[in-house]
Amino acid sequence: MKGGFHGLRAKQLSLSLIALVCTFVFIWAWEKTPLLTSLLPPQSRFSMPSSEILFGAPVVKEMSSNPGIYVKEESSNAVAPMRSANTSSSKKSITDNNSTPPPMEKEEISPTALGKWGAAPKPGPKGEKGPKKVEQDANRIAMMDSETNNSFVKGKGDADEPTLVKEKVCNYAKGKWVADDRRPLYSGFGCKQWLSGMWACRLTQRTDFSYESFRWQPENCEMPDFEGSKFLRRMQNKTVAFVGDSLGRQQFQSLMCMVTGGEESPDVLDVGSEYGLVKNPGAVRPDGWAYRFLNTNTTILYYWSASLCDLEPLNITDPATDYAMHLDRPAAFLRHYLHRFDVLVLNTGHHWNRGKLKANRWVMHVGGVPNTNRKLADIASAKNFTIYSVVKWLDLQLPKHPQLRAFFRAISPRHFFNGEWNSGGSCDNTTPLTGGKEVLQDNSSDPVAEGAVKGTDVKFLDITALSQLRDEGHISRYSIKATPGVQDCLHWCLPGIPDTWNEILYAQL
């Protein structure tokens, strides 16, 4: 009985020893054998969440009606992107507006309104369409803003642990104006071939031209020196198109002068007829211009479309007919010739006021019928709705035209002090940078345009804040005939600020 007990105990110890040895061998083999480790589940199942999840994806927020952010002018003025000049004192720099917007009723955006902008919108109730959908789009799109989130990159901390470090992002709109005696880039006297006399301040009675001697220096961007010959080589066999209002025409004329150096160029051919840009009987001027540099086969053109909407006569037999202004349909010129463009720059803004609509006999239409939406009847809302609509349409066309680089240019600021253009407003200052020389903000001073391009492949040409600092560069009271009249505090002297817009465009190409 005793021997049996000891024998049983020895057998248990032997089994325990064998189990221990097997366990040791198994662990050793696990660490040394790749075959066993390959049996583990995929690594991605245990990866950390993305930085968007950790730090929050970009947020689309409602825009305040605070005039310090965006001023709505209905009767005789466009929608101004900055605080009105005659209601606020000049500041030494332009910074972020941190004021808290008033609470607003939140509404969902219809899928057709924003597409891939921001977070995925929720579809409306089944069967929802027509005016109700348009009203929801108008309520939301017309009052949108956007905010950017910081970019992060992996780095190393003191203990070789992964950390998150802020990445310096190139923002051409953030920087400062610096004196440069190499400016201007062309002569205001010499560029008569392309420059309208009303914008050539060298031909007027103005005597101070210090505004010409500054260049824009972005904070974290390399700005290449603009050379006309280099630009033409880069744009060889390409077409650059500007479509917009008279400020777009100024940018077009500026680029023509910059490319030629303000000199006469006999090797440039007028090809406006290829794009239907001819002067119609009774018209003051054609709807645009197109010129081709024969040495490089580079075409630069401009088409006048102040609202970017498709305009359609309601009665083609009546010379005094009203025009349907289709807020949800881009200009026919864009639809017809987009396939021929390699670079496209769009802009709109200063024709969105009651006076302009009435003078041009434009009647707002949505969905092919006269607009009945009260929210869209508001000029600012209609403008915002159109900008989002045009940008969305253009973004959907880009995959069909892989050669095309499309830009939407932010609004150019006005500088009327002590009144408006028709009520004694003026811009008599001739001293550069009296309101500061630096832009410190990250976001645009044109939040509507910034929000429209966000999430699309349409690039943003942000010139609002940097131009806001240059009130001395407007036409002001000067003219060729030297006759008293209304001051022009909207358009710019050339050479001048629009040259900088083209330098930034050149850098972004």
CB crowding 311-346: b at 16 or more within 10 Å, else e? bbeeeeeeeeeebbbbbbbbbebbeebbebbbbbbb
Per-residue model confidence (pLDDT) at position 141: 60
Tens of pLDDT, residues 205-221 = 999 999 999 999 999 99
User: At 7, is the pLDDT very low, low, confident or very high (cuts 50, 70, 90)?
Assistant: low
Tens of pLDDT, residues 217-270 = 999 999 999 999 999 999 999 999 999 999 999 999 999 999 999 999 889 999
H or E segment to which residue 178 belongs: strand 175-179
Q: Could you tell me which CATH class the domain 175-508 is placed in? A: alpha beta
Per-residue model confidence (pLDDT) at position 283: 86
The answer, yes or no, to whether residue 165 has pLDDT greater than 70, is no
Token pair of 506 as six digits: 């050149």
CA dihedral of residues 122, 125, 131, 133 (deg, nearest 10): 0
The rounded distance, in Å, linking the Cα atoms of 114 and 320 is 36
Burial classification of residue 52, based on how many CB atoms lie within 10 Å of its CB (0-12 exposed, 13-18 middle, 19 or more buried): exposed
Look-up: residue for tokens 């060298």? 202
Per-residue model confidence (pLDDT) at position 366: 98
The rounded distance, in Å, linking the Cα atoms of 435 and 473 is 13
pTM of the model: 0.72
- What's the chain's average pLDDT? 79
Tens of pLDDT, residues 376-422 = 999 999 999 999 999 999 999 999 999 999 999 999 999 999 998 88
Domain ranges of the chain: 175-508
The rounded distance, in Å, linking the Cα atoms of 21 and 24 is 5
Per-residue model confidence (pLDDT) at position 10: 58
36-45, 341-350, 472-481 — most confident range: 341-350
Q: Provide the pairing of β-strand 268-270 with 362-366.
A: unpaired
Tens of pLDDT, residues 179-193 = 999 999 999 999 999
DSSP state at residue 80: B
User: At 32, is the pLDDT very low, low, confident or very high (cuts 50, 70, 90)?
Assistant: low
Tens of pLDDT, residues 289-339 = 999 999 999 999 999 999 999 999 999 999 999 999 999 999 999 999 999
Look-up: residue for tokens 């744009």? 235
